[in-house]
Structure formats: structure tokens, C-alpha cells
Amino acid sequence: MNFFNNKQVAALPNHLKQYVVEQHYEHYTPVDHAIWRYVMRQNYSYLKDVAYYPYIPGLKKAGLTIEKIPSLQEMNDALGQIGWGAVTVDGFIPPAAFMEFQAYKVLVIAADIRQIDHIEYTPAPDIIHESAGHAPIIGEPRYADYLSYFGYIGSKAMYSHKDFELYEAIRHLSILKEMPDADPAEIAKAEKDLEFKQQNLGAPSEMALLSRLHWWTVEYGLIGTIDEPKIYGAGLLSSIGESASCMKPDVQKLWYAKDTINYSYDITKPQPQLFVTADFENLIAVLEDFANTMSFRVGGTYGLMKAIECRNTCTAVYSSGLQVTGTFTDVILNEKDEAIYLKTTGPSALSYNDTQLEGHHKEYHADGFSSPIGKLKDTEMSLEDFHINDLKNIGVEIGEPAYLEFESGIVVEGVLKSVIQEDQKLVLLSFTNCKVYDAKSGKVYFEPLWGIYDMAVGSKIVSVFCGAADKDAFEPVAMVSDNKTYQVNYDNKTIRLHELYRIVRKVREKQADVALLPSVWDSLKTEHTNDWLCAMEILEIFDHTGLHPEIAEDIRLFLKNKASSDPKLTKLINDGFSLIANPVIDLVH
């Protein structure tokens, strides 16, 4: 993997590196670069007045230019100066992974670029949205802090199995909508599937609620006052359609607060309301308020029950610091609904400080793990705070039979085989010939014939979060979707159109003679009558040079007729005329 000489990218753990794909810069066509240039010029023309931060300086800090699609090396050279990095991925990735990239201060950028038919807005992530939307504001320190902190919080969020099904439905629909020859019936089916999954999620998970906060801030956030807000959200900054329409009175503006989590969103449609924050400090305050309700901070019975609901790999952290990773299937509660015993099923592992304990990998605990939670009966001190001499005082010595009875009534009875301490805390006691049972009911949890019993030490569960503690050890293969983004195979006619765009670019960059353009225009109006952007670029050159006024008028009339006959092109073409009349100069380089 190419680290682009960027410390943040190089520091990514292996389980995240698996999402990274090559940019393949050479695959971008001249049409792709023209789409980028058109959108960026429109962005600057409009956003210089409504964006929260100075747009051009923001582009420069992110290594971007108005004229061409950025390379990852250029972006990493610039972002590395402010402690960030960037990688390319294949479309949507799971929310938990996306958040974790943010926590590592690495921007995730979709390698693809939108088709010209979706030039105003695309439901799929693309390089315009990710780089031109997210990257320029990274240079604002308060916002950058919020983004990385959000990533850390999001990487701990609990999600449900239905969340991943919804993610796959969103990814599938976004891929279909960017396919130029997608079957309308297949799109309609995917839309219905997405709608069904959205309506049948049940109670939203922590990840679903956090995704709402992310959407209404990072993607669609406004800052300032209700009456005169400015745009900072990447979804708005990268949509030349919605960045203008969002300021209209029919889009309700509400103050951003914790109850924003009650507002769901639809990625395929313009948003009916947006949320305004007075400053970035408020974003962190709302996030912190919500984080205090999450399992990774609440722990206990609440967290363990959320882990069981998740049906995926989760980690429970004992007060000793021991981390139990696995699929949680059961928790025993006392009369006060306090967790006194936990159980995982299937491959499980034990870690400390996010590092797997030697010998306690998922192959060793292949059938699951179970252990009591709580204090020993008739002892004031928690077991994790015992020293070896303290154990001897209660008759617990290595190689000798031991009897441990917990306040809950659970008994662990066997021969102590070994003790693991970390940072002067007992974290694990292992027993041979061990029986674990409930002294009150007689229920047995472990039999001597089952082998060695590893007992976690800790008076309570202080944290529960999604995913493994030591991800690289536990999850060598990331949950990467099998549904890949569509890669276009161009026919000969389209390849000839690409060459026409290439000639226009070379003329504009003074690498080719302007005398080539009349023949380019002849080819466009005879072979490529559906295209409008290349004609607009030729008109721009003729208008600014004063050359070939008759041809320029012919092109202008052609574009006006297109604008009046095709409502989808009316705004795009009229905005193109406006850009010609009010040229945008690339001040980045």
C-alpha cells in the first residue's frame, strides 16, 4: 500500500488498510476532469459568498485545484502539513470503518467521479464530494478536532445487524444510480428494498443515531444564525444544486441540539430541514452529551444487552481493564438487574489495553467464553486490587485447590493454574479441574471435563463497544462489501468524445492551437448532439479570446435550445453562461 509519505496514512491499522483502493489517476477521462472543473468553478462562484470558510485558501490547504481532479499524492502532501491524510476507497464503506478512519485523521475519498448526468448531485460518494466537500475545511482547527473526535466516538458505537443490511441496501442503490445503463426496474426494486429496510429498522441503534448527528453536521451542517447561516457541511459544499436551494425559505432552519438525533434523513433526496450551530464548540458539546449515553461509557447491564442485540463482534471491558471480545449471547442478572455473569458464543479473545493477551486468541477460545462479574463474598476490596499475598490470605495459591464465592452466589471451585496481572491489577485467573455453579440455584456454568477455565477478574463491566479490542489480531479480514462500484467500459463513440474534450483542455492550457476548435465543434454537433459541456468549454475560449464570433454565436444558440428543451439542463447551461460572463480564476496554484 502506498502511504504517500504521510504519517497519518502510514499509522492506519491493517483492518482499515483493507478498504483502501488505488486511485488509478490515469483512469480519469477528459470528461471527468471537465466535470470536476465545472463543479469547482460553480462552487467557487457561489460558495465564496455562502461558505463558512474562505473557499480558495481552503482548497489550497487541502492540495486541491479548480482545474483538475486531485491526485492522492498532492492531497497528502498538503494535508500532511496540518496533521491529516487521505486515501481512496470503493464507494460507501461501513459507517464504523468510516468513523475509525476519521479517528485516525484520514479522509476517506471515493475514487470514482460522478457521471455528467449527475453533475449537480449524486447519491453515491465520489471524489468531488469527498475531496472538494470535506477536505477544504480541515484547515479549520476547531472543526478538524470535532471531526477526529466524532470518529473516535463513532468507532465505539453499537450497531445492529439491521444497520449493516441497511448499509448494503444504500450501497447497492447508489451503485445502480451511477450506472449509465442501469435497468429502471432494478433501480425501482432497490429503492423499495431500501425503503423497506429504513422503515423496519426498529429502535435506532447508537450508530444509527450517531449517523444522524454526522449527517446534520459533517454532511449538511450550517453555522452562524438562523437568518443568515453559512455552509460548512460537505454534502452541501459539493452539491451545486442543493448548496443554492438549501438557502431558500422553504428549507426550514433549526438550531442544532441533542434532539437533532430524532431527525432521520434520506440520502437520495434534498433535505427538508437543516440545522444551524452557533459555533463548532456546540458541535462537540452535543456530541459529548450523546456519548455519555452510549454503551462504551455506560457499560453494565445496558451495554451487555446492547451487545446481545448487535449479534456481531463486541467487546466488554471489566473494571480490571480486561477486554472480552466475541459475540455476546447471554448475561445473568441479579435481583437488582445488575450483570453478574456474561457469556459469548463462538470465537472469542481476551485483551488488555487493546492488545490481545498471549495465548488467549480466538482459536483458543473457539467455542466462546464465560465468566462471573462482581466482588467476592465477605471482602471489601475488589478482586482486581488483590496482590498475590492477598490471594494467599483467602486460601488461593497456584497449584492448590481454591474456592471463590461471589456476592452473587456464583462459585468458582478448582485448582489455580496461573495468574495474569497487568499494571498491578489482577485480570485473569485460570483453573484446572474447575466447576462453576450458582450456589443458590445449583445451576452449573462450567464442568471440570471441559478443560481449563479462564476467569475474568473485575467487579463490574465499565464499557461495552462494537468490534474487537485488538482488531488486527481478531479481525484479519475486514467486512468489505462484495458489491463493487460499476466501472464503465467506453464504446468507440464515447472514446472519440473524450478526445474532443482532451483537445479543448489542451487549447485552454495553451498546449494546442485554438485553430483546432472549429473542427471539434463540427464533430460535436454532428456526432455528439447530447453533449453540452464540451460545447460550453469551447464557447468559453471563444468568448474570452474574441475569436470566431460566428461559431461562438452558433454554439450559444445550440446551448440555449438545449436549455429550453430539456429542463434537467436549464440551470446547468444557464450557470455555465454565467461562469463565462464572470470567469473564475484558479488561485490555488
pLDDT at residue 123 greater than cutoff 70: no
Higher pLDDT, 412 or 93: 412
CB atoms within 10 A of CB 199: 7
Domain boundaries in the chain?
7-216, 295-474, 492-581
The Cα 235–Cα 291 span in angstroms is 24
- Quick one: DSSP state of residue 69? P
Ligand-binding annotation for 134, yes or no, is yes
pLDDT at residue 434 greater than cutoff 70: yes
The Cα 553–Cα 548 span in angstroms is 9
In SS3 terms, 274-331 reads as EEEECCHHHHHHHHHHHHCCCHHHHCHHHHHHHHHHHCCCEEEEECCCEEEEEEEEEE
- Mean pLDDT on 538-554: 96
Q: What is the pLDDT of residue 31?
A: 96
pLDDT at residue 167 greater than cutoff 90: no
- State the residue for C-alpha cell 476548435: 517
**In sequence order, which residues have a C-beta less than 8 Å from that of residue 386 and are 6 or more positions away?**
426
Contact (CB, 8 A) for 207 and 164: no
The Cα 69–Cα 32 span in angstroms is 8
Q: How many CA atoms lie within 13 A of 428 on its CB side?
A: 23
- Quick one: DSSP state of residue 452? -
Contact (CB, 8 A) for 180 and 228: no
Higher pLDDT, 475 or 559: 559
Q: CATH homologous superfamily for 7-216?
A: Aromatic amino acid hydroxylase (1.10.800.10)
- From the number of C-beta atoms within 10 Å of its C-beta (0-12, 13-18, 19+), residue 550 rates as exposed
The Cα 32–Cα 365 span in angstroms is 51
Contact (CB, 8 A) for 316 and 463: yes
Q: What is the pLDDT of residue 165?
A: 77
DSSP string, 191-257: HHHHHHHHHT--SPPHHHHHHHHHIIIIITEEEE-SSSEEE--HHHHT-TTHHHHTTSTTSEEEE--
The Cα 402–Cα 414 span in angstroms is 5
- Mean pLDDT on 403-414: 97
Q: What is the pLDDT of residue 187?
A: 86
pLDDT at residue 344 greater than cutoff 90: yes
The Cα 383–Cα 459 span in angstroms is 7
The Cα 522–Cα 551 span in angstroms is 10
Rounded to 10 deg, the angle between the 161-177 and 184-199 helix axes is 160
Beta bridge partners of 186: none
Q: Which amino acid would we find at residue 557? A: L
Q: What is the pLDDT of residue 48?
A: 78
Confidence of residue 545 (pLDDT cuts 50, 70, 90): very high
pLDDT at residue 493 greater than cutoff 50: yes
pLDDT at residue 188 greater than cutoff 80: yes
Ligand-binding annotation for 33, yes or no, is no
Q: Which amino acid would we find at residue 76? A: N
Q: What is the pLDDT of residue 139?
A: 85
- From the number of C-beta atoms within 10 Å of its C-beta (0-12, 13-18, 19+), residue 220 rates as buried
Handedness of CA 62, 68, 69, 72 (dihedral sign): negative
CB atoms within 10 A of CB 119: 21
Confidence of residue 535 (pLDDT cuts 50, 70, 90): very high
- Mean pLDDT on 383-398: 92
Q: What percent of the chain has pLDDT over 90?
A: 69
CB atoms within 10 A of CB 141: 11
Contact (CB, 8 A) for 317 and 464: yes
Q: What is the pLDDT of residue 482?
A: 59
C-alpha cell at 224: 452562524
Contact (CB, 8 A) for 427 and 457: yes
| Residue environment code for 330-366, b if the CB has 16+ CB neighbours within 10 A, otherwise e | ebbebeeebbbbbbbeebbbbbbeeebbeebbbebbe
Confidence of residue 589 (pLDDT cuts 50, 70, 90): very low
Q: By C-alpha distance, which of 576, 487, 567 is closest to 180?
A: 487
Q: What is the pLDDT of residue 481?
A: 55
Confidence of residue 483 (pLDDT cuts 50, 70, 90): low
Q: What is the pLDDT of residues 22-62, one digit of tens each?
A: 999 999 999 999 999 998 898 888 887 888 877 678 888 88
Angle at 482 between CA 481 and CA 487, to 5 degrees: 105
The Cα 461–Cα 298 span in angstroms is 9
Q: Which amino acid would we find at residue 329? A: T
Q: What is the pLDDT of residues 359-380, one digit of tens each?
A: 999 999 999 999 999 999 999 9
- Mean pLDDT (the chain, rounded): 91
pLDDT at residue 443 greater than cutoff 90: yes
- Quick one: DSSP state of residue 529? T
In what helix (H) or strand (E) does residue 434 lie, and over which residues does it extend?
Answer: strand 425-438
Confidence of residue 588 (pLDDT cuts 50, 70, 90): very low
- State the residue for C-alpha cell 471515493: 110
- State the residue for C-alpha cell 453562461: 577
- From the number of C-beta atoms within 10 Å of its C-beta (0-12, 13-18, 19+), residue 189 rates as middle
C-alpha cell at 123: 447519491
Handedness of CA 529, 531, 534, 539 (dihedral sign): positive
- Lowest mean pLDDT of 437-446, 475-484, 578-587, name the range: 475-484
C-alpha cell at 370: 464465560
Q: Which amino acid would we find at residue 37? A: R
pLDDT at residue 130 greater than cutoff 90: no
Angle at 61 between CA 59 and CA 66, to 5 degrees: 25
**In sequence order, which residues have a C-beta less than 8 Å from that of residue 401 and are 6 or more positions away?**
413, 414, 415
pLDDT at residue 150 greater than cutoff 80: yes
The Cα 351–Cα 112 span in angstroms is 38
pTM of the model: 0.84
Confidence of residue 7 (pLDDT cuts 50, 70, 90): very high
Beta bridge partners of 431: 416, 453
Q: What is the pLDDT of residue 53?
A: 76
pLDDT at residue 140 greater than cutoff 50: yes
Contact (CB, 8 A) for 234 and 129: yes
Q: What is the pLDDT of residues 66-77, one digit of tens each?
A: 899 999 999 999
- From the number of C-beta atoms within 10 Å of its C-beta (0-12, 13-18, 19+), residue 200 rates as exposed
